[in-house]
């Protein structure tokens, strides 16, 4: 029995090595039991502001016996989602990365024993990152947004900071190491010809099974120390006025988002204010569910739920406008969503955070922390540093 298990691990290991060396595009997505690997893409759709509506309204034919590959898998970028809900962005600095890409896989392989991979390619790694907003600049933006909160234009807003360097990386090596050091329930990677995305996202934005839909907002982050455990973290969050206010606002907003597409009275708070543990931090989490109205379309769901409120602030539209007018460069994948839409309309999407975008050998890590009336600029800036640490450590 042991020999059979070792043989299976060897086959999986060789498969990962072979597919990575073949330069064939592939995607790996975290599941409850392990990981799913998708490849042999028969279709690749690069989304833009003109074709996204047709893409979301597309009706797919499939046989009565549903196949695991009867789906489209990929991501919506932040700018694309803004445009979809009618939020216009000012001209910003851009690397011209695609606004969204979806793939039709013909092969799906379950990797239940985890990921094992032997690095056999040279990587040109720069250990140093340049941050686009230093603490002094961050504090100026922070104070500006504090005034907006006091004037009632927003109640909570997220300030994004970016870390960049020039590096030629092996994304599979990075992803395998990341899953061992900081495994998250919404982790994924995409490897394509001129880009890769590696993510340890913890946040599920949409899970749809039939008429039932759920979302799991995260609002509240605490650095891990030797003297802190989950129970102490929970006590900290519950007794911290700032963290409680922030969490309550995001939960209320996402309940409201779900209510737009769900039957009246069906939206319920299933789990309220629990703690999830990760390598360097604890998160404050809730779970909300609802029953979709009849004839709810994919586009209705995407427009109601995206971009995810927990990484934007609230109220969503006015806060998006404030953010977009402040930020000088595109967010690209950051605070967009990755996941799949099955041909029967079931779907699962995360919020793209804790992610590396490597495009044309430039790595980009984006993080954000929330500003409410009780926030402290130094604390929020340091929270961004904590969130980026697990990804920056991969370059050391």
pLDDT tens column, 322-380: 999 999 999 999 999 999 999 999 999 999 998 999 999 999 999 988 788 888 999 89
DSSP state of 312: T
Its domain, for residue 45, covers: 2-395
Q: Report how far residue 178's alpha carbon sits from residue 370's, in angstroms, rounded to the nearest whole number.
A: 25
Q: How much is the pTM?
A: 0.91
Q: Report how far residue 358's alpha carbon sits from residue 173's, in angstroms, rounded to the nearest whole number.
A: 13
pLDDT given at position 64: 62
Q: Report how far residue 362's alpha carbon sits from residue 102's, in angstroms, rounded to the nearest whole number.
A: 22
pLDDT tens column, 97-135: 999 999 999 999 998 777 877 776 678 888 899 999 999
pLDDT tens column, 172-217: 999 999 988 888 889 999 999 999 999 999 899 999 999 999 999 8
> How many domains would you assign to the chain?
1
Whichever domain contains 285, its CATH number is: 3.60.120.10
CB neighbours of 290 closer than 8 A, spacing ≥ 6? Answer: 212, 213, 214, 258, 259, 261, 262, 263, 266, 267, 268
Q: Is the pLDDT of residue 296 over 50?
A: yes
> Please, are residues 84 and 52 in contact by the beta-carbon 8 Å criterion?
yes
- Half-sphere exposure for 315 (CA within 13 Å, toward CB): 5
With H, G, I as helix, E, B as strand and everything else as coil, classify residue 38: strand
With H, G, I as helix, E, B as strand and everything else as coil, classify residue 51: coil
């Amino acid at each position: 029995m042991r020999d059979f298990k070792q043989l299976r691990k060897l086959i999986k290991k060789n498969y990962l090595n072979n597919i990575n060396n073949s330069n064939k595009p592939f995607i790996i997505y975290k599941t409850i039991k392990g990981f799913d690997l998708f490849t042999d893409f028969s279709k690749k759709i690069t989304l833009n502001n003109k074709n996204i509506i047709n893409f979301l309204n597309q009706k797919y034919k499939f046989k009565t016996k549903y196949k695991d590959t009867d789906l489209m898998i990929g991501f919506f970028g932040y700018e694309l989602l803004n445009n979809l809900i009618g939020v216009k962005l000012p001209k910003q600095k851009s690397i011209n990365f695609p606004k969204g890409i979806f793939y039709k896989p013909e092969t799906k392989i379950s990797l239940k024993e985890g990921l094992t991979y032997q690095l056999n390619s040279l990587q040109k790694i720069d250990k140093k990152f340049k941050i686009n907003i230093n603490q002094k600049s961050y504090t100026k933006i922070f104070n500006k947004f504090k005034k907006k909160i006091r004037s009632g234009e927003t109640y909570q807003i997220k300030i994004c900071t970016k870390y960049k360097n020039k590096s030629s990386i092996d994304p599979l090596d990075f992803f395998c190491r990341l899953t061992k050091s900081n495994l998250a329930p919404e982790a994924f990677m995409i490897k394509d010809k001129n880009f890769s995305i590696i993510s340890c996202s913890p946040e599920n934005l949409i899970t749809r099974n039939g008429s039932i839909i759920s979302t799991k907002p995260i609002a509240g982050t605490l650095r891990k120390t030797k003297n802190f455990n989950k129970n102490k973290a929970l006590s900290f969050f519950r007794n911290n006025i700032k963290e409680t206010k922030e969490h309550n606002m995001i939960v209320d907003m996402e309940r409201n988002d779900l209510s737009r597409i769900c039957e009246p009275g069906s939206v319920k708070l299933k789990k309220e204010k629990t703690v999830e543990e990760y390598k360097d931090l604890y998160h404050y989490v809730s779970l909300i569910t609802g029953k979709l109205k009849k004839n709810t379309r994919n586009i209705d769901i995407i427009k109601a739920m995206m971009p995810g409120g927990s990484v934007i602030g609230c109220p969503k539209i006015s806060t998006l406008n404030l953010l977009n007018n402040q930020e000088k460069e595109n967010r690209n994948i950051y605070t967009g969503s990755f996941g799949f839409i099955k041909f029967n309309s079931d779907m699962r999407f995360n919020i793209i955070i804790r992610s590396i975008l490597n495009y044309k050998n430039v790595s980009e890590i984006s993080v954000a922390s929330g500003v409410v009336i009780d926030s402290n600029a130094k604390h929020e800036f340091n929270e961004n540093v904590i969130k980026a640490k697990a990804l920056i450590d991969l370059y050391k």
